A and B are shown apart, each in its own frame.
Chain A
Amino acid sequence: MAATVDARGLSCPQPVILTMNKIKELGTGQIEVLVDTDTSKENVSRAAKSKGWTVADVTEEQTGYRVTLLKE
């Protein structure tokens, strides 16, 4: 079961802060981040990559995007 971060509706930089907190908490694994704007999608992806995580998948949903982050 992957951890989920729901950052929909939050202003900059909170989606990134929440994602970074989860990355720090887990260390490795899979995180599903829900965002509602393209800016947040890009910011979360960029921040995760800078911590050595990969953006495994980005899917468009009715309420925005689901960004899947992975680290072995």
Chain B
Amino acid sequence: MVKRNVLATLYGIMGVGAIIGILAPLLQYWGNPANMGICVACFDRDIAGALGLHRADVVQYMRPEIIGFVLGSLIAALIFREYRPRAGSAPIVRFILGVFAMIGALVFLGCPWRALLRLAGGDLNAILGLLGLAFGIWIGTLFLKQGFTLGRSEKTYPSVGLILPLVMLGFLVLMFIFPQVEGEPKSGVLFYSIKGPGSQHAPLFVSLAVGLAVGILAQRSRFCTMGAIRDLLLFRQLHLFSGFVALAVVAFFTNLVLGQFNLGFANQPVAHTMHVWNFFGMALAGLAFALGGGCPGRQLFLSGEGDGDAAVFVIGMIVGAGIAHNFGLASSPGGIGPHGIAAVVVGFAVCLFIGFTMRKKIA
């Protein structure tokens, strides 16, 4: 008989959402940027900065939360015998979807996780982002209904699934070899921020511990913010959505307790008030996540359990962050970047091309 997985039940997924809803605001309390306790897009972007893939000096930090997500998921998958090395489902397409998912997220300034945390912190601009996210995912469901598929993955060598976890382990080792030096923008090969969001972070071991814990819980519960909205639209199913709502509600109360709630549109931390582009930036990200089969967090957890295709999406996001900052596509609190609109238009064209040309009846 097959084992029972408590975290994959309705109460399990709600519990995991609630735990993230407590831990993320706490990370802010412990040093992470405001309304950014956990933001997979922002943190991937900070990692790109730490590696020098872009040189926006305010967003450079090797975020241990991301490393913890992947390694925590790997640990859970190994303990519960769910590690399944697999790869080969249109990796180049997944890479490009990762690139444009990141570009869209950086026009809004956050991934779906941060959109919830921004709302829970009183940032009303997040409503536009969440509506855009739902719109993008809805377009994705239309393609899925028409048989959109990136094709089947194949079982592969165990080492293939270990590549991204090993890269993350390597990043962690780099942090130990080249630790942050107070007031210095660089330590060995790693870049660090002296000011801005990249300079704000919880202590390394706290971030890593929270990352590992969330990685373990999310692997077991299959927590996915894109799947939450997709399953609601596609199947009228509330399972993942209940975890999504639990995160937002619990984060709201945690923020109230910690004195981190500040209601309004204007002067919100690491956010802008250009409603149309908050909407369309996140719509692009939502479409790319839907076609790619998971939110940015879920792609990390899948990578940890051996999915080499999800790992390609993750690398696409990190490279996408480099492109977004180098080409002036990313927004800032001052508004969208000089080429942000063009990037969203191109991103939609690319995603629609992928959606329309990769449909087939797989019976």
- The residues of A with any CB-CB pair to B shorter than 8 Å are 8-14, 16-18, 20, 36-39, 41-43, 46-47, 50, 58, 60, 63-65
Considering the complex, which residues of chain B in the window 134-160 have a beta carbon less than 8 Å from any beta carbon of chain A?
Answer: 144-145, 149-155
Contact across chains for A11 and B150 when beta carbons are under 8 A apart: yes
Contact across chains for A36 and B155 when beta carbons are under 8 A apart: yes
* Bound Cα distance from A26 to B150, whole angstroms: 27
* Bound Cα distance from A13 to B145, whole angstroms: 10
Q: Assuming A10-B362, A14-B144, A37-B305, what are 7 further A-B pairs, CB within 8 angstroms?
A: A11-B149, A11-B150, A11-B153, A14-B149, A14-B362, A17-B234, A58-B1
A25 CB to closest chain B CB, in angstroms? 10
Q: Closest chain A residue to B226 by CB distance?
A: A12
Q: How large is the interface on B (under 10, 10 to 19, 20 to 34, 35 or more residues)?
A: 20 to 34
- Interface CB pairs A-B, < 8 A, 10: A9-B89, A12-B224, A12-B227, A18-B363, A37-B82, A38-B82, A39-B222, A42-B5, A47-B237, A65-B2
* Bound Cα distance from A39 to B293, whole angstroms: 13
Q: Within 8 Å of chain A (Cβ to Cβ): is B235? A: yes
Chain A residues with CB under 8 A of B155: 36, 63
* Bound Cα distance from A64 to B152, whole angstroms: 14
Contact across chains for B154 and A9 when beta carbons are under 8 A apart: yes
Contact across chains for B144 and A38 when beta carbons are under 8 A apart: no
**Are A42 and B222 also in contact (CB < 8 A) when A14-B149, A63-B155 are?**
yes
Of the candidates A16, A20, A42, A47, the one whose C-beta lies within 8 Å of that of B8 is A42
B255 CB to closest chain A CB, in angstroms? 31
Contact across chains for A36 and B86 when beta carbons are under 8 A apart: yes
Contact across chains for B144 and A17 when beta carbons are under 8 A apart: yes
B236 CB to closest chain A CB, in angstroms? 9
- List the 4 closest A-B pairs by CB distance, nearest first: A9-B152, A11-B293, A9-B153, A58-B2
Contact across chains for B227 and A13 when beta carbons are under 8 A apart: yes
* Bound Cα distance from A43 to B201, whole angstroms: 36
**Are A47 and B235 also in contact (CB < 8 A) when A9-B152, A12-B227, A13-B230 are?**
yes
Chain A residues with CB under 8 A of B144: 13-14, 17
